[in-house]
Amino acid sequence: GWRSRAAFKLIELDDRFRLIRPGMRVVDLGAAPGGWSQVAVKRGAARVVGVDLLPIEPVRGAELLQGDFNDPDLPDRLRELLGGPADLVLSDMAPNTTGHAATDHLRIIGLAELALHFAMQVLGEGGGFVAKVFQGGSEKQMLQPMKEAFGTVRHAKPPASRKDSSELYVVATGFRPDRAESFR
Ligand code: SAM
């Protein structure tokens, strides 16, 4: 069985956008308890590497680190485990909420931007990027660089995402390394 309800969100996003293909190298940021990694392995990813602040029970077929993605040497550690360019970078990272909506919003966007920056460094030609954001506007500053560096950028609210939450996902596909140079 899937370890998280969140697993269904990735299943729905993948059914709609065909993100995961056999043989891919996939990065899973904010991976605990491991649902998205399970889905990526199950759908044929050849290599799945991920990180979370929390410990994660091993997922067969995935290499999962415990650590803070804000830590400056984490990107390199993930890159080493990947062993080559990534095909898909997923971020379901969400900071602990403070209860102060504006603060929470800024913190989640900070993580999503960090994930985007990392994605632009590790993705190969044609790669994809998915990140959790919140409705409310300040993710707009991410959109310009995404639109420049990816062929297609969309927003999606998978049915498994609670209707009363403002969570949604940005889904970018068709990465063009030559267009991302200024962001790398
Ligand atoms: N996609 C996961 C699954 O299917 O099992 C669920 C992810 S959960 C919604 C969000 C995760 O982001 C939490 O486990 C949290 O610890 C992690 N997280 C938040 N900030 C982080 C950071 N700075 N570095 C690494 N992980 C972080």
Read off the pLDDT of residues 36-85 as tens digits, 9 standing for 90 and up: 999 999 999 999 999 999 999 999 999 999 999 999 999 999 999 999 99
Residue 178 among known ligand-binding residues: no
pLDDT tens digits, the chain, 184 residues: what are they? 999 999 999 999 999 999 999 999 999 999 999 999 999 999 999 999 999 999 999 999 999 999 999 999 999 999 999 999 999 999 999 888 888 888 877 887 889 999 999 999 999 999 999 999 887 765 778 899 999 999 999 999 999 999 888 889 999 999 999 998 887 7
Q: Is the separation of the CB atoms in 25 and 79 below 8 Å?
A: no
- Give me the active site residues, please: 132
Q: Where are the domains of the chain?
A: 6-183
Q: Which residues contact 135 (CB under 8 A, 6 or more apart)?
A: 166, 167, 168
How many Å lie between the centroid of ligand 1 and the Cα of residue 58?
A: 15
Average model confidence (pLDDT) for the chain? 93
Give the chain's length. 184
Q: Is the separation of the CB atoms in 53 and 39 below 8 Å?
A: no
What pTM does this model have?
A: 0.96
How many Å lie between the centroid of ligand 1 and the Cα of residue 91?
A: 8
Residue 68 among known ligand-binding residues: yes
Q: Looking at domain 6-183, does it have CATH number 3.40.50.150?
A: yes
